[in-house]
């Protein structure tokens, strides 16, 4: 009888196992995404497979001058993954010259997350009009099924020749957003160009986003986020501010998604999609436990006794 009760207790434990959250935040440099790329069916199909893995995706290097490429991509996402509804919010076109401008685009699942605020950071706030080539487009999200509940994302695609200065200036953006929205739950993410020749080791001591306290760089150093076999650089990063947010991250979940390997693409095929891998991280979710009725409990007890008899 004692063994039977032990087995019954084990069954209860199994039924009370917490369900792990699949909530995922991703950042992906799409490498010149616009009218020409969205016309390539095979490329858009691969993009749909990648982006629909995430609850929130930051897309960079979006060069959608006519405003048609992103809606077409969104239509493909919703067709590819009909179990979720996808929407997007985008910055204005950003850049120092009219000949080359990009947008930050956040694509998100409306059934798991909602936008509660957005803010285009002005480049002259610190009196330095050259701080950023593409000023951060900051968005606040509400995600009720996660432990953190609400968070702010600060995107940045740095200019390779100005990486050190832009990464340091991101620290000012972080402090401004914390005060403006009275929040500590902030994540900074994107193609920081934070490695190899663009961020020299001797310059890291001059970047407050690196030296500042309470900042957690989640993508391990020497992690390759580039597609080309000839390169190995940790350009793309995810940085979390605050211990509370850091505790809300699923341990060891941050890293690049090697879509070339996952989808068995050649290097040439992968480079048609992008020359970067997306980086991603998972958030912990609310503990969901299975509620058991009295009838279910009795059934489990009877089952445990039958299993015990068979075993003995």
Q: Could you list the pLDDT tens digit for every one of the 312 residues in the chain?
A: 555 544 444 444 444 444 445 899 999 999 999 999 999 999 999 999 999 999 999 999 999 988 999 999 999 999 999 999 999 999 999 988 777 899 999 999 999 999 999 999 987 655 555 789 999 999 999 999 999 999 999 999 999 999 999 999 999 999 999 999 999 999 999 999 999 989 888 889 999 999 999 999 999 999 999 999 999 999 999 999 999 999 999 999 999 999 999 999 999 999 999 999 999 999 999 753 333 344 454 554 555 565 456 555
Evaluate whether 134 touches 165 at the Cβ level (below 8 Å): no
* Residues of the domain holding 112: 2-8+22-307
Q: Clarify whether 32 is annotated catalytic.
A: no
Residue 190 belongs to domain with CATH number: 3.60.10.10
Residue 89 phi/psi, 5-degree rounding, is: -135, 135
Residue 230 phi/psi, 5-degree rounding, is: -80, -10
pLDDT digits (tens, 9 = 90+) for 121-149: 987 655 555 789 999 999 999 999 999 99
Residue at 16 is within a domain: no
Residue at 15 is within a domain: no
Q: Which of 157, 176, 241, 276 is catalytic?
A: 157
Domain count, the chain: 1
Q: Which of 45, 61, 92, 102 is catalytic?
A: 102
pLDDT digits (tens, 9 = 90+) for 39-78: 999 999 999 999 999 999 999 999 998 899 999 999 999 9
Q: Clarify whether 102 is annotated catalytic.
A: yes
Per cent of the chain over pLDDT 90 is: 73
Evaluate whether 87 touches 81 at the Cβ level (below 8 Å): no
Evaluate whether 59 touches 33 at the Cβ level (below 8 Å): yes
Evaluate whether 74 touches 107 at the Cβ level (below 8 Å): yes
The pTM score is: 0.84
Evaluate whether 146 touches 119 at the Cβ level (below 8 Å): no
Residue at 312 is within a domain: no
Residue at 271 is within a domain: yes
């Amino acid at each position: 009888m004692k063994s039977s009760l032990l087995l019954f207790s084990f069954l209860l434990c199994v039924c009370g196992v917490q369900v792990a959250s699949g909530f995922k935040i991703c950042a992906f440099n799409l490498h010149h995404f616009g009218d020409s790329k969205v016309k390539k069916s095979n490329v858009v199909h691969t993009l749909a497979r990648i982006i629909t893995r995430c609850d929130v995706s930051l897309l960079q290097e979006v060069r959608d001058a006519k405003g048609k490429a992103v809606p077409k991509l969104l239509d493909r996402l919703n067709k590819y993954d009909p179990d979720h509804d996808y929407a997007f919010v985008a910055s204005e076109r950003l850049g120092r010259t009219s000949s080359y401008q990009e947008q930050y685009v956040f694509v998100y699942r409306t059934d798991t997350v909602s936008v509660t605020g957005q803010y285009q950071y002005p480049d002259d706030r610190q009196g330095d009009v050259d701080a950023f080539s593409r000023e951060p487009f900051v968005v606040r999200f509400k995600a009720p099924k996660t432990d953190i509940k609400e968070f702010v994302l600060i995107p940045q695609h740095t200019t390779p020749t100005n990486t050190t200065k832009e990464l340091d200036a991101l620290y000012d953006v972080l402090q401004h957003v914390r005060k403006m929205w009275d929040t500590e739950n902030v994540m900074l993410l994107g193609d920081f160009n934070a490695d190899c020749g663009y961020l020299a080791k001797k310059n890291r001591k001059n970047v407050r986003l690196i030296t500042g306290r309470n900042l957690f760089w989640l993508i391990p150093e020497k992690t390759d986020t580039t597609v080309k076999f000839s390169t190995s650089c940790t350009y793309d990063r995810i940085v979390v501010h605050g211990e509370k947010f850091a505790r809300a991250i699923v341990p060891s979940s941050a890293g690049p998604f090697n879509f070339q390997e996952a989808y068995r693409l050649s290097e040439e095929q992968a480079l048609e999609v992008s020359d970067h891998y997306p980086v991603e991280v998972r958030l912990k979710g609310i503990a969901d436990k299975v509620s058991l009725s009295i009838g279910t409990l009795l059934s489990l007890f009877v089952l445990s006794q039958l299993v015990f008899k068979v075993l003995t």
